[in-house]
Structure 1
């Protein structure tokens, strides 16, 4: 009987060793900017560089492998954009630049896009910046996006799951020529109706057309029928941000309200933390009526619990084996 109990314990021990993701995976590597003498603000940990027109500047990033096996890091220099949540984003590489952007910071930087580090190795990786010939006021903004390259032998499902859980670092890169302060300018562009996640929305494009960062942005948007003062729907947002010379689509939920064909007016009152204020108004046409949209409650698709199923199966098989052994032993005694 002791042997049988030992078998059961071994089975349970084996099932407890099923693969799982730990917090240590997120600490597989770390990176640090090595600030050059052209650093404009020495109190920050990202690159904030003051460079002259046509200047060439070498910068470096220290990358460390904290694991006992070799890893490969992939790096990309991205121009800062603004995502649909009103957050400055340094991770997106394929974003259409606003037409007001004269120079994209990603076009100025060259260097390796993959770095292999041996077990517990630290390496200093160099990048080169080549400034445009003409001087500019304001700031260029972007960042180094650094992530661990995944195993090439992963199947498609594993790779998608790994990308979803990808751990990455961003080191900001800000470049200026002068001290001249540029006042941000907010503009309201294209407006249209759209659908997302079973909701009917008004999508209003907001643009920051200057080489200046907008922080602490507050927005109050109001939709009315053209020529009417009666509000159909309002939206209030706070603590938004916008990258220099960028645009994003502000989603305004119609909250199940219907819109008939016709002319409408969107009014946006906005301000930032430096007390810049904007009052924006734009008329637009709804050519296809929007019916009152009832939200559908959907149940998210759950992944099949393979680990639990296999574990239970092993335990059931072990119990059957134990039961058979007990019956055989009892029959022998009889």
Structure 2
């Protein structure tokens, strides 16, 4: 299990952090903020950069344990996870709306060993495009302890904890922010977290990080007025030029047919509304239902209740006859 510790979520959480650390991790990561940092020490890189320049980014990785550690440092591009939060781990997920991503411009990952209680500065370089950036370039330093971890046996289960530290990197060539924009790319049945769901793929096609998003969504079978599925969420966030699958979960098997998705997303002053028809065919429904944990719906056992009731009545009658016979014998 990898435990990720982040220094920020920038506009989503603005805690000033001098270094990133976690109990049990045994190492810290501290950003060395350059002169073009915007807004002082936020615990992450928030840089105003110039087109065509080579930006140096330096962090200090310190081993706080009494044992040597093997550490890997990489620069990653931000993306939106299917839980509606910004992710900074290494990922091949790339939205077609992204003209350029941070990982395209940065130095390659490096791996090195730290002695016990040793600290080391690590510098990466980002080569900015010659043309000004439209909006934000967002990613992170992603630092992992590659030392072979010891397994922790808890309640008969072997749990292996590995730690990753994240220090975000945000770059802009102008402090002006572009407005976010949502598209509904598609609606389909699918599985998420081993649950059957209708998945609405939402895309932010602009280079703008934003949070505080709330979604209200429902799925209605064609011809019905009452929604079959509803799913509401808040405090969601999206990375620049990214997409994710918003899931409307079902506890009962999906059935083939035509449906309508109604979805409203709001974030600050921005509102997006979608109303989209989609079809679930029998093959897709069977495939999704097979791979999901569904609530087992069993009919109420009326026959057993009836039989049990008749048995109770019969036993009652037999008892009454037995009592009457005993009473008659006693009066003779």
Structure 1 residue 108, shift from structure 2 partner: 1.3
Larger relative helix fraction = 1
Deviation at 1:258, TM superposition (A): 4.5
CA contact (8 A) 1:198 1:295 kept: no
- Give the TM-score normalised by the residue count of structure 1: 0.73
CA gap 1:177/1:198 in 2 versus in 1, 3 angstroms? closer
Structure 1 pair 37–197 and aligned structure 2 pair: CA distance change class (3 A): closer
Matched positions, count = 267
Structure 1 SS opposite 2:24: helix
* Matching residue of 2:269: 275
Higher mean alpha-carbon deviation, 143-152 vs 39-48, is at 143-152
CA distance in 1, matches of 2:274, 2:147: 46
State the 1:174 CA deviation.
Answer: 0.4
Quote how far apart the aligned CAs of 1:260 are: 3.3
Question: Could you tell me whether the CA contact under 8 Å between 2:138 and 2:171 is conserved in 1?
Answer: yes
SS in 2 for 1:106: helix
Q: Quick one: distance in 1 between partners of 2:192 and 2:49?
A: 43
Answer yes or no: is 1:170 the counterpart of 2:169.
no
Q: More strand per residue: 1 or 2?
A: 2
Whole-angstrom distance in 2 between the partners of 1:172 and 1:119? 26
| Cα offset, 1:225, TM superposition | 2.7
* Counterpart pick for 1:66 among 64, 67, 90: 64
SS state at 2:162 partner? coil
In the TM superposition, residue 228 of structure 1 has moved relative to its aligned partner by: 4.7
- Residue 116 of structure 1, aligned match among 98, 113, 116: 113
User: Measured at CA, do residues 249 and 258 of structure 1 come closer, stay the same or move farther in structure 2, by a change above 3 Å?
Assistant: closer
Change (3 A) 1:198 1:111: closer
Matches within 5 A, 1:38-77: 38-77=36-75
1:218 corresponds in structure 2 to 214
Q: Is the counterpart of residue 140 in structure 1 residue 137 in structure 2?
A: yes
Per the TM alignment, residue 230 of structure 1 is displaced from its structure 2 partner at its CA by 2.9
Q: Contact conserved, 2:192 with 2:247, CA < 8 A, in 1? A: no
Match of 2:196 among 193, 200, 204: 200
Task: In structure 2, list runs of 5 or more residues that go unmatched.
Answer: 1-20, 152-157, 297-332
Deviation at 1:67, TM superposition (A): 1.8
RMSD: 2.8
Instruction: Determine the C-alpha separation between the residues in 2 that align with 1:208 and 1:34.
Output: 31
Deviations 1:143-176 (A, max 9, x none): 1111111239x89xxxxx67x5211210000011
**C-alpha distance in 2, partners of 1:197/1:47?**
33
User: 2 CA distance for matches of 1:165 and 1:27?
Assistant: 9
- Contact 1:137–1:180 (CA under 8 A) maintained in structure 2: no
Aligned residue runs from structure 1 range 4-153, under 5 A: 26-91=24-89, 93-110=90-107, 112-151=109-148
- How far off its partner does 1:133 sit? 1.5
Contact 2:206 2:241 in 1 (8 A): yes
Tell me by how many angstroms 1:69 deviates. Answer: 2.7
Paired residues of 1:80 and 1:243 also in contact (CA < 8 A): yes
Q: For the Cα contact (< 8 Å) 2:29–2:59, is it kept in 1?
A: yes
TM-score (norm 2): 0.73
Residue number in structure 2 paired with 1:328: none
